[in-house]
């Protein structure tokens, strides 16, 4: 986790499923509870994510939206992009190809 | 050569989901399916096993090949009906998007299963 251009970047790696999603939920909860309002979730190192992981992201985004914040995603992996497209979440989240691209110049 | 059938049974605990995915991916790669198909199967099986886990009974995954198709089944032991309407809707939608005919359908012994069929060759 780091802060850049008033975005908090949350690095996520490995596999996100029913087993590991609670860790992601706790981490997001910690950040939001700690006052982060703009969270960029970097899924670049995620090898697998299913609906359990996506649900956590959607819940986090909802919390941030209600607090006038925002959440965006970094995804460059084919399967992760595909699951976002299938669920329509690529329209719900702003999705960037890299952290650099997300944070701008 | 037609490998399998292969069976994997695990306790209804989320920490086994990764192993279930690895099991199915290894079988699919053995049959030289594309990496995109492997990824689809991993996702669909993960969702199916997540739903099956909520029944609280051991989860069974079966992989078999007929020569023209790879077939993966995930049992929904006795919880198939009860699971309808639970909060796994997104998982079911994902399964239906990837494998529209996956069910749940009736398995060999009448109990509901998710069945994923991938043509080979």
Among B95, B38, B46, B92, which residue's Cα sits nearest to residue B70?
B38
For residue B23, being part of any structural domain is answered with: yes
User: Total structural domains in chain B?
Assistant: 1
Question: Does the beta-carbon distance from A18 to B39 stay under 8 Å?
Answer: no
* CATH number for position B79: 3.30.565.10
Mutating which of A23, A48, A81 best tests the B interface, going by the most B Cβ atoms within 10 A? Answer: A48
Burial per residue of B102-119, b for 16 or more beta-carbon CB atoms within 10 angstroms, e otherwise:
bbbeebeeeebbbbbebe
Residues in chain B with CB shorter than 8 Å from the CB of A82 are 39
For residue B1, being part of any structural domain is answered with: no
Question: Does the beta-carbon distance from B50 to A50 stay under 8 Å?
Answer: yes
**For position B85, what pLDDT does the model report?**
46
Kindly identify which residue of chain B lies nearest to residue A80, measuring between CA atoms.
Answer: B39
Domain that holds residue B82: 6-119
Among B9, B1, B3, which residue's Cα sits nearest to residue B73?
B9
Cis peptide bond upstream of B120, omega within 30: no
Question: Does the beta-carbon distance from B94 to A83 stay under 8 Å?
Answer: yes
pLDDT by residue for chain A (105 residues), tens only, comes to 677 778 999 999 999 999 999 999 999 999 999 999 999 999 999 999 999 999 999 999 999 999 999 999 999 878 999 999 999 999 999 999 999 999 987
* CATH number for position A73: 3.30.750.24
Domain that holds residue A84: 2-103
């Amino acid at each position: 986790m780091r802060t850049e251009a008033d975005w908090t970047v949350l690095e996520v790696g490995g596999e996100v499923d029913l087993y590991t999603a609670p860790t992601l939920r706790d981490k997001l909860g910690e950040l939001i509870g700690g006052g982060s309002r703009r969270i960029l979730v970097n899924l670049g190192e995620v090898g697998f994510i299913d609906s359990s992981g996506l649900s956590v992201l959607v819940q986090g985004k909802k919390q941030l939206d209600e607090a006038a914040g925002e959440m965006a995603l970094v995804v460059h992996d084919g399967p992760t992009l595909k699951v976002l497209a299938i669920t329509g979440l690529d329209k719900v989240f702003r999705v960037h190809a890299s952290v650099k691209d997300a944070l701008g110049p | 050569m037609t490998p399998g059938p292969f069976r994997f049974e695990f306790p209804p605990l989320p920490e086994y989901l990764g192993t279930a995915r690895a099991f199915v991916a290894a079988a699919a790669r053995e049959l030289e399916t594309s990496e995109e198909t492997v990824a689809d199967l991993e996702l669909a099986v993960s969702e199916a096993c997540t739903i099956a886990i909520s029944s609280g009974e051991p989860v069974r995954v079966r992989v078999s090949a007929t020569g023209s198709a790879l077939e993966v089944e995930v049992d929904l032991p006795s919880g198939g009906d009860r699971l309808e309407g639970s909060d796994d809707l997104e998982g079911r939608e994902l399964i239906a998007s990837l494998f529209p005919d996956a069910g749940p359908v009736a398995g060999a012994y009448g109990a509901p299963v998710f069945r994923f069929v991938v043509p080979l060759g």
